[in-house]
Amino acid sequence: MPAPDIDTYIAGFPPDVAARLTAMREAIRETAPGAAEKIGYGIPTFTLKKKNLVHFAGYARHVGFYPGPSGIAAFADELAAFESAKGSVRFPNDQPLPLDLVRRIVAFRVAESG
């Protein structure tokens, strides 16, 4: 059963991963203050204008960030150092989170949403 909210989701992780997830959440909140939070697809999701903006998730070895295909494509050069797919990127837990890059991707997605 998925967590009912983002606080509960984050609390289910070991402290080091929870701290990384909290940092991701705060970076997204700061950049998209008008976005709403929910659990979507079983993971933390931010929505804007009733549409999914970005998602993130915790794993044993990485934090997943899901800004959609357009967010990945627009920052492909900067994301090249990370494992990525069409709409997602993995930030390894043994490396600092690139929060400035996350903020810029979120800002791009906010601008895209009109």
The pLDDT tens digits along the chain (114 residues) read: 789 999 999 999 999 999 999 999 999 999 999 999 999 999 999 999 999 999 999 999 999 999 999 999 999 999 999 999 999 999 999 999 999 999 999 999 999 998
Residue 89 lies in a domain: yes
Residue 1 lies in a domain: no
Buried b (16+ CB within 10 A) or exposed e, 86-114: eebbbbebeeebbbebbebbbebbbeeee
> Residue 86, SS3?
coil
Whether the predicted model's global pTM rises above the 0.75 cut: yes
Residue 45 lies in a domain: yes
CATH number of the structural domain spanning residue 11: 3.90.1150.200
Range of the structural domain that residue 69 is part of? 6-112
Residue 98 lies in a domain: yes
Domain count of the fold of the chain = 1
Residue 77 lies in a domain: yes
